[in-house]
Structure 1
């Protein structure tokens, strides 16, 4: 009784200050939020790292923040928007998509206390709109069914999904099947009301559906032990190595030749290939995607959001804006290493050592000083200028922290786009210097040092732009062979 009395008194005082002293109320609210985010957040992370369950579902927003999961999230089953508001307040999610049909269903088909008449559903929808409008573009409301909303998102595109809709076994199982592929490795999937049975609130089969699904996918998960438990899981990493690049339509021919040359010199090559593209900066047509998929089926096309890199537009030459999307490579979580290759390259040798290199970060030194490059090769060094055309990124830099640091780095002139941002970040960190034959500039290819070249880089002028140049001859040989064989 006492706790109820004090809770009611707190609500009354909160309402009084909000109405009569809005400035003071806002200040206290902001201080309280600062305290939660700066003090409670690290405690939440420590519990997570010790494999201890969280104590409140409100802490999931803080966990997302501490894990640097700052992309897109989805809540399925919104009701009046309370939890959407909580997530947007406590996390740094770029966008939270709140999905709910706000529709009255036949009570025989949907047994739940929140299955209310349509008028009440409409009122909840309007209330949710009013509640979330203060978050602006960070909040997007979708009045539709879960299955319809799932079609709007690419696989491995979401940092967070929260399922709190129809609680029947069949519905929860369907939602898990729909939304599990949408969550990227390292992202969080969670849900409310981890219960089974016929209770006054409705027919619940959440526990059975979640247990069965997680066992099927060999996915560990935790449960917040409260009256209405929340379950949550960090999607397991895939491990291994993947190849990644940023690609647009004008460079598809170069990338196809690159893929062909890799397979030619590495007969057992079967690593997954991730191709990043975007709507405006780096568009890639469906026809070209199909062409690449026919050449190499183990490929995934990832449509990335351009917003995070737009802050660098003012300090980067316009022609190099697409190169800024390279920073998104550091958000490919779930692998032991990601090997980035520019699309304007040609493989001329065995890359098995590169594919298995176990270092935090590796790249080839930049510049024309061959002796310096040979002296630095195969060792760790600081304050080294490097070319970002070939990079090996270990899992140490694939947990979100490096990605966040790169996107929030100070705005300084970036004449070489991503390369300047990366070199500033890695300036005082030890990087592993690759042998320069793994990123050999094509303009030096006909000057006596050709036999050990692993990857030829057509930086600057491209073969299709200057087909008569001698250094372009080898590229056209591979292109001809590719067309002949395919």
Structure 2
């Protein structure tokens, strides 16, 4: 029998446009995929569900009540988690035990190439290095160029007993197979989540839980499969992966492509975002083209006017002056 495959993600109304681009771009570059798409969400409007389902038959799943209970208890003890609690829904991917392979992707990712390797490899847990591990890997390069080591914050899994968790990974993209899929792993993750002390952790939620539980029992894959814009230079210099070679582009961090930013402000923050956001927005337009959304007709006519204007500037009248 063919393997049972699944693409899974987490969404809410804020991230739903990102989910739309993730699904469209994934299906565009992976036409071979005939598996299921699962979206974990605790609240999505019918309109949003219909929009996502136009791209592919989507199964929407609410989080397990046990995770909801643990999350509520954590939020009561650590109010800072209230704005981030949906990140814990990535753990739900581990209870999809009826699949041979589950690819979990955050919804602020777009696909830029074929990712069949993540489904076909034999290792049961694939993930890319996180920022901490890239810093460890780049320390020799820094020292060779006369700089000191990067002074990282105390990372998850190390803060209580002083021991090092070794290599750690990003939870934004994970390729999972049995024995990692199933009730045993899911229950253990909930126990780790409930016992974890999130005091002082500003960002890491599910990633802290996963690295604390997994403790290096996974296989590292290229950052091309989790190309975080925030870590572009880390990935380039640690792995020699330039951005045109990336397969999954991840807007980890504050900047999200569905938000509007003043160009000057975005340039001051990090000008490299422009090239990624431009591609993401083209993907969104492509995803909605059938609906006539985003003024497709108007854009085509504007392009026609631009080519005609260019022809006039060049001194060659009419369509013959267009440069294709």
CA apart distance, 1:413? 1.5
CA apart distance, 1:239? 5.5
Equivalent residue pairs, number? 237
CA apart distance, 1:333? 1.7
**SS of structure 2 residue aligned to 1:317:** helix
Asked if the contact 1:339/1:391 (under 8 Å) is kept, the reply is: yes
Asked if the contact 1:244/1:273 (under 8 Å) is kept, the reply is: yes
CA apart distance, 1:293? 0.8
What are the equivalent positions in structure 2 for 1:373-452 lying under 5 Å apart?
Answer: 383-409=166-192, 410-413=195-198, 415=201, 416-427=204-215, 429-443=216-230, 449-452=242-245
CA distance in 1, matches of 2:288, 2:197: 44
CA apart distance, 1:318? 2.1
Identify the match of residue 72 of structure 2 among 292, 297, 310: 310
TM-score, length-scaled by structure 1: 0.45
Match of 1:473 in 2: 278
Taking structure 1 as reference, are residues 312 and 434 closer, same or farther at Cα in structure 2, changes over 3 Å only?
A: farther
Match of 1:55 in 2: none
CA apart distance, 1:268? 2.2
CA apart distance, 1:366? 0.5
Asked if the contact 1:243/1:274 (under 8 Å) is kept, the reply is: yes
CA apart distance, 1:330? 1.3
CA apart distance, 1:442? 2.0
Give RMSD over aligned pairs. 2.7
**SS of structure 1 residue aligned to 2:127:** strand
Identify the match of residue 260 of structure 1 among 24, 28, 43: 24
CA distance in 2, matches of 1:357, 1:249: 34
CA apart distance, 1:485? 4.4
CA distance in 2, matches of 1:401, 1:347: 31
CA apart distance, 1:383? 2.6
**SS of structure 1 residue aligned to 2:208:** helix
CA distance in 1, matches of 2:225, 2:86: 23
Asked if the contact 1:312/1:411 (under 8 Å) is kept, the reply is: no
CA apart distance, 1:288? 0.8
Unaligned runs of 5+ in 1: 1-237, 374-381
The CA deviation string for residues 197-226 of structure 1, in whole angstroms up to 9 with x for no partner, is: xxxxxxxxxxxxxxxxxxxxxxxxxxxxxx
Taking structure 1 as reference, are residues 345 and 287 closer, same or farther at Cα in structure 2, changes over 3 Å only?
A: same
CA distance in 2, matches of 1:272, 1:285: 21
The CA deviation string for residues 271-321 of structure 1, in whole angstroms up to 9 with x for no partner, is: 20111111xxxx111111111111212x21112232243333224622211
Identify the match of residue 347 of structure 1 among 99, 105, 111: 111
CA distance in 2, matches of 1:253, 1:435: 27
Asked if the contact 1:276/1:302 (under 8 Å) is kept, the reply is: yes
CA apart distance, 1:445? 5.4
Asked if the contact 2:127/2:175 (under 8 Å) is kept, the reply is: yes
Asked if the contact 1:466/1:472 (under 8 Å) is kept, the reply is: no
The CA deviation string for residues 318-348 of structure 1, in whole angstroms up to 9 with x for no partner, is: 2211111222221122111211000010100
Structure label with greater radius of gyration: 1
Runs of 4+ in 1 over 4 A off after TM superposition: 444-448
CA distance in 2, matches of 1:326, 1:432: 18
Asked if the contact 1:242/1:337 (under 8 Å) is kept, the reply is: yes
What are the equivalent positions in structure 2 for 1:60-459 lying under 5 Å apart?
Answer: 240-278=4-42, 283-297=43-57, 299-304=58-63, 305=65, 306-313=68-75, 314-315=77-78, 317-367=81-131, 369=134, 372=137, 383-409=166-192, 410-413=195-198, 415=201, 416-427=204-215, 429-443=216-230, 449-459=242-252
**SS of structure 2 residue aligned to 1:250:** coil
Select the structure with the greater relative contact order (CA < 8 A; seq sep ≥ 6).
Answer: 2
Greater helix content: 2
Match of 2:141 in 1: none
Unaligned runs of 5+ in 2: 139-164, 267-273, 292-324
**SS of structure 2 residue aligned to 1:408:** helix
